């Protein structure tokens, strides 16, 4: 089977969408399928390249004004190039990852080609509108984004999203069926062999208990709430807060740590390469996340696969991953008191920490990437053989949900 992925972001821009495709695509190839990707280029030229043994067709693009590392495809001749590419590759199934320029162009071109299209939604408007201060303007922008989302995804045969939280969010906006299939995680990567001494020395990390955050340092991640709780907890328990990642709020967060008098206990590492990241989880005792707009949270899954208790805000899909008092603690938005109590319990009660660690690892197993690839393969084969699903047969569409879910 030939499978064509379409994504508005891809290497070297690393985000959740890229990681989903780069995990799933190679495993599909190992199963004997031929896989290719359409993505924006790093310049204004069209080309074909190999990335991790996957054929990637890159479309001419320009940098976004406020996020120059992100790029948007140039609309001129875009549909023509996509039509030529699809005619050359001849995919049996197309899998779009968003509703932006590339995916919309593919959907438009496919109105005549009629190749089965599957869509996966990784999108929440809050991740793009967090910088808007005016609530009315923010709402207008979000409504417009959802309207564009509905236009594109209503033209695909079936939509997947990583969690049941995601299905509840988008089902009312679509006429097509929606099912939850996790984005998956490679369990082996987060149980690395070897000790962590060299990595601690590389990043100048102390030999003390560690609370870990991994992710962008942007407004919607609400790391300020975590710092405020850490400042209180440090008065009662001894640990370090290690913050891995980069973003527009890094300087402001460093200044807040100084204002709170905890800058000697907070370490901002900046960007950490993928090969080092699993070791940060390995030497940490607890993971924390306060972002309220998560459809899955890959970093939380990584922490769980590493056996870490997790303290998470009870918002978005995090409540599906973290079971309160079982593999961590859930706190309501802005409730720093619960964060503090959770930190004290985890860092002072070894037996509790061990039980939570075992449960995190147990819950993470259902997201094993090999199981996820099997689910998508069954879905693709249903479209490819045309034995299960057709665009206009809702009963058969429901049947495919049962068969692969």
Residues 367-381 pLDDT 10s: 999 999 999 999 998
Q: Report the number of distinct structural domains present in the chain.
A: 2
pLDDT at 128 over 70: no
Measure the CA–CA gap between 405 and 394, rounded to whole angstroms. Answer: 16
142 and 211 in a single domain? The answer is: no
209 and 164 in a single domain? The answer is: no
User: For residue 369, what are the CA distances in angstroms to 2, 49, 62, 208, 366?
Assistant: 20, 25, 33, 32, 9
Q: What is the pTM of this model?
A: 0.85
pLDDT grade, residue 196 (50/70/90)?
Answer: confident
191 and 158 in a single domain? The answer is: no
3-state SS assignment for residue 276: coil
Q: Which residue has the tokens 């359409």?
A: 38
295 and 229 in a single domain? The answer is: yes
11 and 126 in a single domain? The answer is: yes
Q: Which residues pair with 57 in a beta bridge?
A: 38, 48
Q: Which residue has the tokens 């290690």?
A: 242
The domain containing residue 385 runs over which residues? 2-184+369-404
329 and 382 in a single domain? The answer is: no
Enter the tokens of residue 356: 């939570």
pLDDT at 251 over 70: yes
Taking a C-beta distance cutoff of 8 angstroms, is the pair 6, 103 a contact?
yes
323 and 203 in a single domain? The answer is: yes
Nearest to 122 by CA among 73, 181, 177, 66: 181
147 and 224 in a single domain? The answer is: no
Q: Which residue has the tokens 């819950």?
A: 363
Mean residue pLDDT across the chain: 89
Report, as an integer, the average pLDDT of 143-169: 93
Taking a C-beta distance cutoff of 8 angstroms, is the pair 289, 300 a contact?
yes
The pLDDT tens digits for 254-268 are: 999 999 999 999 999
356 and 384 in a single domain? The answer is: no
138 and 221 in a single domain? The answer is: no
39 and 178 in a single domain? The answer is: yes
Report, as an integer, the average pLDDT of 91-113: 95
N- to C-terminal Cα separation, the chain: 21
Measure the CA–CA gap between 29 and 262, rounded to whole angstroms. Answer: 49
29 and 158 in a single domain? The answer is: yes
CATH code of 212's domain: 3.40.50.2000
């Amino acid at each position: 089977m030939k499978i064509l992925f379409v994504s508005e972001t891809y290497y070297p821009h690393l985000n959740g969408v890229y990681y989903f495709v780069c995990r799933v695509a190679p495993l599909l190839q190992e199963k004997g399928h031929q896989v290719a990707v359409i993505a924006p280029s790093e310049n204004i030229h069209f080309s074909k390249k190999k990335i991790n043994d996957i054929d990637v067709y890159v479309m001419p693009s320009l940098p976004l004004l406020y996020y120059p590392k992100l790029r948007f495809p140039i609309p001129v001749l875009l549909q023509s190039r996509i039509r030529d590419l699809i005619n050359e590759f001849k995919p049996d199934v197309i899998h779009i990852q968003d509703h932006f320029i590339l995916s919309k162009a593919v959907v438009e071109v496919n109105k005549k080609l009629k190749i089965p299209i599957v869509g996966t939604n990784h999108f929440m408007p809050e991740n793009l509108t967090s910088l808007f201060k005016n609530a009315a303007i923010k709402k207008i922008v979000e409504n417009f984004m959802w309207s564009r989302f509905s236009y594109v995804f209503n033209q695909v045969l079936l939509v997947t999203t990583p969690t049941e939280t995601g299905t509840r969010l988008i089902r009312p906006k679509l006429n097509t069926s929606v099912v939850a299939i996790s984005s998956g995680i490679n369990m082996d990567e987060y149980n690395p062999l070897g000790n962590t001494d060299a990595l601690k020395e590389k990043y100048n990390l102390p030999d003390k208990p560690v609370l870990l955050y991994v992710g962008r340092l942007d407004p919607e991640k609400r790391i300020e709430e975590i710092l405020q709780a850490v400042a209180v907890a440090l008065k009662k328990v001894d640990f370090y807060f290690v913050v891995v990642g980069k973003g527009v709020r890094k300087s402001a967060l460093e200044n807040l740590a100084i204002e709170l008098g905890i800058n000697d206990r907070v370490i901002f590492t900046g960007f950490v390469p993928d090969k080092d990241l699993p070791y940060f989880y390995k030497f940490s005792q607890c993971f924390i996340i306060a972002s309220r707009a998560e459809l899955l949270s890959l970093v939380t899954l990584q922490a769980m696969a590493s056996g870490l208790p997790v303290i998470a805000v009870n918002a978005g899909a995090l409540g599906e991953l973290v079971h309160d008092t079982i593999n961590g603690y859930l706190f309501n938005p802005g409730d720093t008191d619960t964060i503090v109590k959770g930190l004290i319990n985890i860092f002072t009660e070894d037996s509790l920490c061990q039980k939570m660690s075992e449960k995190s690892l147990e819950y993470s197993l259902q997201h094993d990437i090999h199981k996820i690839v099997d689910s998508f393969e069954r879905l693709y084969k249903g479209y490819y053989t045309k034995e299960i699903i057709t665009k206009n047969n809702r009963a058969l569409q429901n049947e495919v949900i049962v068969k692969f879910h």
